[in-house]
Amino acid sequence: MEVITLQFGHFANHVGAHYWNLQDEAAAQEESAGDDEEGLIDHTRLFHAAESHGQLSWRPRAMVVDRAGALGAVVPAK
């Protein structure tokens, strides 16, 4: 089962960026600790693995909602 985070409001991108950075740091610390300890969060449920140009990357499962035009370059031009 995957988890999708919903980010609503004017500061959703700002708060979400900090949240995802903390999750990324926690995942890296758990990975460096090895398999001896089981983490509190299963990061594979929060992130989606995607391969681009032969390199594996992890992307957050998130949906960000804000006012029309507030996201600027994220919204495709018409």
Q: Where in the chain are the domains?
A: 5-65
pLDDT at 19 (0 to 100) = 85
Supply the pTM of this predicted model: 0.59
Sign (positive or negative) of CA dihedral 27, 28, 30, 34: positive
Outline where DSSP puts E strands in the chain. Answer: 5-8, 47-52, 55-60, 62-65
Beta partners for 50? Answer: 57
pLDDT in tens, the chain (78 residues): 677 888 887 777 788 888 888 888 887 787 777 655 566 677 778 888 888 888 888 888 887 776 666 656 555 545
Phi-psi region of 50 (alpha: psi -120 to 50; beta: other; left: phi over 0): beta
